[in-house]
Structure 1
Amino acid sequence: MNIFATANKTLDVFIENNLSSYHQFRNYDFGIKNRKNVSRISKYISHRILYEYEIIKKIKEMDKKKKFIDEILWRIYWKGYLENYKSIWVEYKNSKVQTYDLSVLKAAKSGKTGIDCFDTWVEELRENNYLHNHSRMWFASIWIFGLRLPWQLGSKFFMQHLLDGDAASNTLSWRWVAGLHTNNKPYISSKENINKYTVNRFKKININISKTINTIKSKQHHSNKLPAWVDFPKSNILIMFDNDLNITNRFKLFNSYSKVYILCNGVINNSFDLSYKVGQFKRSLIESICNLIPNSEILKSSDLAIFLSDYKNIDAIYPGLGDNLDLINNYTIQNQININYIYREEDLRYWDYATTGFYKFKNSFYRINNI
């Protein structure tokens, strides 16, 4: 069974058994032994083994409450929003974090804060490389407003350990919790909310959050022009990235190149390495896809500089704002290489609507697709 079959089987089992009750139980984190209330497909979506738009087409008649569709739409929205406000990524990538207590950071990363729920989530993050969406919000809120740690470090910690780590969703979700996406309205964890949606699994939830919270400041960001469609091919080689591995209906494209290279990148912001398990997972996905494309080869990011020295023009499937794009852009700019990015039509179409809040974006998507 190839990786696409495995991912689709996981989705189909969820649709058949749990989609109808998703709206009722989606916010509950019952623990690692009971995840039937969530789909467990995020690690496939973030690498586009499962394609967001195809999932929505598949379930739009079955998801009566539209809550699962909304979850998929959040990922599309975050990607589009970051593309519309590229300066947010630049600010995040180049940020110099404010003063913080290094001992608190060490305790947080090792799961030794004394806050039962938080320490349990750190263990789950490190061991299982996953957290329930609601727990991610609680975690980020405790990290920022309870432990007083920079949100940027928390965002990078997630990217190191999450199998479904996605630059746009992760970065902008942490900004949302911090109050930077919602006009200084941060998300604040509470003992009562955690107890309710974890069914009182934790005993020691001593979250010390001041009633007066100094909201985090950020510069004002202005929207930029989205990329335009460019004809292809312009080169005889094509580069793919681990966060867009969907090859459905693309063999004609692949066959137009002498070689397709799939880049394996294990570094975050040129300084943080992915955890071993996340790196191995990405490698396994890349190897699976490489086996399905006859003229493909895996390219390590550490070999990129030597590899690109032989070319003046390359084509690449656009990976979206994030570490993969930064990596390839840095090398091509330094070596004066022309790069032609190939975009997905659906992305360019819907990113146009991701300029303000999520609900305006959702309403536009629903209208266009008769949902």
Structure 2
Amino acid sequence: MNIFNKADYKLDTFINNNLALYHKYRNYDYGKGNRSNVSQISKYTSHRILYEYEIIKKLKIIDKKKKFIDEILWRIYWKGYLENHKSIWIEYKNFKNKSYISYMLKAAKEGKTGIDCFDTWIEELRENNYLHNHSRMWFASIWIFTLKLPWQLGAEFFMKHLLDGDASSNTLSWRWVAGMHTNKKPYIATKENINKYTVNRFRNITIKISNKMNLIKTNIHKSNRLPTRGKSSNSIILIMFENDLDIRNRSKLFNSYLKVYLICNGIINYGFELSEKVSKYKESLIENVNKLIPNGVVLKSSELKIFLGDYHCIDVIYPGVGYNLDLIEKYAYQNKTKINYIYRDEDLKYWNYANSGFYKFKKKFYKLNNIN
């Protein structure tokens, strides 16, 4: 069973057995021993082993409550929003306080804060490289408003340890919890909410939120021009990254090149590396997909700079705003290599509607796809 069949089986099993009650139980985190109420396909969707738009096509009729469709739609929306507001990414990656050191930061990363739920989630992050979506919100809220740590460092910590880490979803979700994405409406974790949706699994939940909470100031980020379809090139090679590995229906594209190079980028922010387990997972995806491409070759990100020196022009499957785009553009600039990006039609279409709020985007997406 190849990686695509494995991912399809995971999705279909969830649909057949648990989708009907997803709307009722999706917010509950019963612990790492019981995840039947959620799909756990995010490690596949974040790498496009499962393609978001194809998932929604499958769900259109059978997801009666549309809650699972909305979860997939959030991922599409976050990607589009970051494409529309690239200055958010630039601001995040240029965060000046990366050397921030404090007792509380050390305690948080080691799961020694004394807040039972938070410390348990730290353990799950390190061991299982996964957290329930609701717990991610609580975690981020406690990190920002109780422990008073920079949200950027929390976002980095998630990227380091999550198998489904994604530049757009991760960065913008942390900003959303901080109240920077909405109109000064932060997400505040409460003991009552955590107790309810974890079925009282935790004992010591001491969450102190100041009544005079200082909201995080944010710059105004205006919409930028979206990318457009590139012109055809004479490149004999194609490069693709681990965050867009959907190769189905692309054999004609791949056959038009001498070689297709698959790159796993383990460096996420100027020397800040992914955890060993996350790196190995991404490498395993690359190796699995590479076996299905007759002219495929695995290329280490550390070899990319020298590799590009041999080419005047290359084609690249557009990786989206984030670490991979930063990497390829940095080395292409240094080697004076021209990049021709290969875009997906669906991305270019729907990113046009992802420049403001989610619900406005959702309404437009539903209308265009006849989702009732």
Give me the TM-score of the superposition, normalised by structure 1: 0.99
Task: Note closer, same or farther for the CA distance 1:204–1:101 as it changes in structure 2 (3 Å cut).
Answer: farther
Q: CA deviation at 1:207?
A: 1.0
Q: CA deviation at 1:175?
A: 0.3
Q: What does residue 33 of structure 1 align with?
A: 33
Q: What does residue 288 of structure 1 align with?
A: 288
Q: What does residue 251 of structure 2 align with?
A: 251
The residue identity in structure 1 corresponding to 2:126 is R
The residue identity in structure 1 corresponding to 2:122 is V
Q: What does residue 263 of structure 2 align with?
A: 263
Computed over aligned residues only, the root mean square deviation of the Cα atoms, in angstroms, reads 1.0
Task: Note closer, same or farther for the CA distance 1:113–1:251 as it changes in structure 2 (3 Å cut).
Answer: same
Q: What does residue 123 of structure 1 align with?
A: 123
Q: In 1, distance between residues paired with 2:325 and 2:99? A: 29
Q: CA deviation at 1:212?
A: 1.7
Q: In 2, distance between residues paired with 1:291 and 1:229? A: 29
1:21 maps to 2:21: yes
Q: In 2, distance between residues paired with 1:245 and 1:233? A: 22
Task: Note closer, same or farther for the CA distance 1:98–1:299 as it changes in structure 2 (3 Å cut).
Answer: closer
1:63 maps to 2:79: no
Unaligned runs of 5+ in 1: none
Give the number of equivalent residue pairs.
371
Structure 1 contact 84–224 (Cα < 8 Å) conserved: yes
Structure 1 contact 315–341 (Cα < 8 Å) conserved: yes
Q: CA deviation at 1:98?
A: 8.8
Q: In 1, distance between residues paired with 2:172 and 2:251? A: 33
1:228 maps to 2:231: no
Structure 1 contact 100–148 (Cα < 8 Å) conserved: no
Task: Note closer, same or farther for the CA distance 1:229–1:20 as it changes in structure 2 (3 Å cut).
Answer: same
Q: In 2, distance between residues paired with 1:232 and 1:242? A: 23
Q: In structure 1, the residue corresponding to 2:215 is in which secondary structure?
A: coil
Q: In structure 1, the residue corresponding to 2:353 is in which secondary structure?
A: coil
The residue identity in structure 1 corresponding to 2:85 is Y
Q: In 2, distance between residues paired with 1:230 and 1:219? A: 31
Q: CA deviation at 1:271?
A: 2.1
Structure 1 contact 314–339 (Cα < 8 Å) conserved: yes
Q: Alpha-carbon deviations, 1:287-336, whole Å to 9, x = none?
A: 00000001010110111111111111000000001100000000011211
Q: In structure 1, the residue corresponding to 2:211 is in which secondary structure?
A: coil
Structure 1 contact 232–342 (Cα < 8 Å) conserved: no
The residue identity in structure 2 corresponding to 1:34 is N
- Residues 128-139 of structure 1: matches in 2 within 5 Å? 128-139=128-139
Q: Alpha-carbon deviations, 1:249-282, whole Å to 9, x = none?
A: 1010000000000011101112211001100000
Q: What does residue 151 of structure 1 align with?
A: 151
Unaligned runs of 5+ in 2: none
Q: In structure 2, the residue corresponding to 1:153 is in which secondary structure?
A: helix
Q: CA deviation at 1:241?
A: 0.3
Q: In 2, distance between residues paired with 1:339 and 1:240? A: 12
Q: What does residue 182 of structure 2 align with?
A: 182
Q: CA deviation at 1:125?
A: 0.3
Q: CA deviation at 1:218?
A: 1.4
Q: What does residue 164 of structure 1 align with?
A: 164
Give me the TM-score of the superposition, normalised by structure 2: 0.98
Q: Which ranges of 4 or more aligned residues in structure 1 deviate by more than 2 Å?
A: 97-101, 231-234
Structure 2 contact 230–340 (Cα < 8 Å) conserved: yes
Q: What does residue 78 of structure 1 align with?
A: 78
